[in-house]
Amino acid sequence: MPQIDSTDFPLRADYLAQVQAHSDTVLFASRWFNAVACRATPAQQAALKRLPGVRSVEPLETARMVPARRNPVRPSESEPLTAEERQLARRQISTLGAEALQQAQLNGRGLRIAVLDVGFTGTDAHPAFAHLRRQKRIVATHDFVRNKPDVYHGGAHGTEVLSCLAGVLPDGQPLGLATDAEYLLARTERLHRELYSEELNWLAAAEWADRLGADILNSSLGYTDRRYFREQMNGRTSLVARAANMAARKGMLVVCAAGNDGDDPHWRLIGTPADADSVLAVGALDPDSFLATEFSSCGPAAGGRRKPNVAAFGVVVVANPNGGYSRLEGTSFASPLVAGLAACVWQQDRTLSSMRLFKRLEGAGELFPYFDYAHGFGMPMAVRLLRPGTLATPNFDFVSTSDVVQVVLRTTALPQKPLPLYLDSLVSAGGVLAGPAPAHESARVGRDEPTALPAPANVAAAPKPLSGTDYAYWHIADTRGRIRRYQVLHIVQRAVLRLPLTELASGDVLRVHIAGYTAEYTKP
C-alpha cells in the first residue's frame, strides 16, 4: 500500500465549517472516513443533508463496549501470590516460547504498541511498570472520553491488560513478552453509562495511534448482543470493525480479545471488532487442560468465516490497581499475551508487513493447519516463528472400509503407555471412540449437530487416560472449507476415532490433529 493516501488527508476546511455552522457541537472529524461526528437536532440534521459536501447523515447510537474480563478468581487483591500463582505467571509466557525469545534477545524493543481500554488506574505508580516509567516507554496517553491526556483513572482493566504485555513481578519475572516496547495508552470508554457511542472513541484513538506511529494495536473490548444481531458480526457492519480494518490497512497489526460469551447459549459468538477479517481475534485456553475455556467466545463469524484466529492462556496473573497482583480470567488477557509475542517477532524481522505477520502468527499455531471454531489455529509458538519449517512425525493412520473411516494410532506412537487393541463395540452416540473425560476436557461440538448413531452394545471399560495434553482434535469441513462439526477427544486407546462414512458428504474433509501432526481424509 502507498505510504500516504486520501484517508490521511484532513477534511476540507470549508466542508467542516459548514457542518459546524449547522450543528450544536462537532465531536470528532475522521480523516480515515472523511466524516464528522456532531450533535444535531432533527432540524439541523435535515439541513446537514442538504449541504453540498454531505453524502449522508447517520444516527450515532448509544451503546457500551464490554471489557473481555471475567470476575476475579482469587479472594483478595492484597494477599501475596501463592506458589501456584507464581508458577502460572511463568507459564502464561513460557508456553508461548518466552525462553526462546529471551535467548534471541527479543523483548519488543523498537515496537510501539497502542492499548485501547477502559482506564489505567494505578499504572502510573504500580511497581510492575517501574521500568516503563523509568525508561519513558509510555510515550503518550489520551482520554478520549474526557478529551484529556490523563488516563490513570476510570478503571483498572487497562492496567491489567498492559501487565500482560509489559508487567513484571517484584522478583523480575515478566508477565508479558514485550517488556521493552513503547506504549500509547488510550482510554476509550466509561465504566458505566456514556453519553456518546464508544465506537467513536475507539475510532478516534485508532487514528491517534496511527499518527503517533503505532505498530500494534491491542483492544480487549467488544460489542455483542447489546447492540447488534448475530448476522451483523460480519466484520463490516460496526464502526469499530471498519475502523479496525482501516487500522490494519494503515499497517498496524490489530489484536483483539474474542470475547467471553462462549458459555452464553443465546450468543456465544465472537464480538466486534474481533469479527473483522483483518483483526487477529484471540480466544482463551484453560492452563490446566490447554483446551478452550467454556467462556471463550467461539466462531464461526457471520458467513462461516474462521474466528477466533489463535488462542492463549485466558487465566493469568496480572497487576492490579492496588499495587499488588491478582489471578484473573478472560480473553482480555489472552489478547495482550499474543500481541507481546507479535512484537517480539516483528522486532526480529522489521521487513514483515502487518498482514504477513498476521499469517505467520496463525501458521505458528500449535494446531496449524488444523482449525476449529473454539481454538482457532491454537496457541502460537515462538519456536515455529523463529525457526519455521519444523514438522512433527506422523503417528496415526486413516483406515477406511466401505462404510467406516477410522483413525488409529501407530503402535510406536506412545511407547511409554500400554494401549488396548481396537474394540468395535466402543463407539459413542456421537460417532467417536474415547473414554470418559473430566468436565474441563469435555468436547466442543459445532452448531450443526450430527445425526445420532445407535447406542453402543457391550461397552468396554476405558483404560486410565494419558496426560492432559494427549488429545485428538478433529473436524469435518465441506468443500468450501466451512467446518460442520468439530470435537476434541482425550486419547485413551489406539483407535482414536471411528466415523461412519454417512457422516461425510462427497468432497468433505476429515482433518485430524494429534501430537503436533495434522492429516486429512477426503471422502470420494
Which residues are catalytically annotated? Answer: 117, 157, 332
Task: State the DSSP string of 461-480.
Answer: PPPPP--TT-EEEEEEE-TT
Interatomic CA distance for residues 175 and 217, integer angstroms: 19
Tell me the sheet residues that pair with 148. 143
Half-sphere exposure (Cβ direction) of 395: Cα atoms closer than 13 Å: 19
User: 4-10: long-range contacts at Cβ-Cβ below 8 A with a sequence spacing of 24 or more?
Assistant: 6/34, 7/31, 7/32, 7/33, 7/34, 7/246, 7/250
For 279-316, what is the HEC assignment?
EEEEEEECCCCCCECCCCCECCEHHHECCCCEEEECEE
Q: Quick check: helix, strand or coil at residue 146? A: coil
| Residue 450 backbone class (left: φ over 0; alpha: ψ -120 to 50; beta: rest) | beta
- Cell numbers given for 483: 467446518
Interatomic CA distance for residues 271 and 261, integer angstroms: 9
- Contact between 493 and 419 under an 8 Å Cβ cutoff? The reply is yes
Query: Would strands 315-319 and 509-514 be described as parallel, antiparallel, or unpaired?
Result: unpaired
Residue 38 has phi, psi (to 5 degrees) of -150, 165
455 exposure class (CB count in 10 Å sphere: 0-12, 13-18, 19+): exposed
Q: Quick check: helix, strand or coil at residue 270? A: coil
The C-alpha cell 519513558 sits at 136
Q: How far is CA 77 from CA 93, 111, 124, 313, 323, in A?
A: 22, 31, 18, 20, 9
- Cell numbers given for 362: 496463525
- Contact between 395 and 413 under an 8 Å Cβ cutoff? The reply is yes
The C-alpha cell 488510550 sits at 186
Tell me the sheet residues that pair with 485. 476
Distance of alpha carbon 377 from its chain centroid, rounded? Answer: 11
Distance of alpha carbon 274 from its chain centroid, rounded? Answer: 7
- Cell numbers given for 524: 470420494
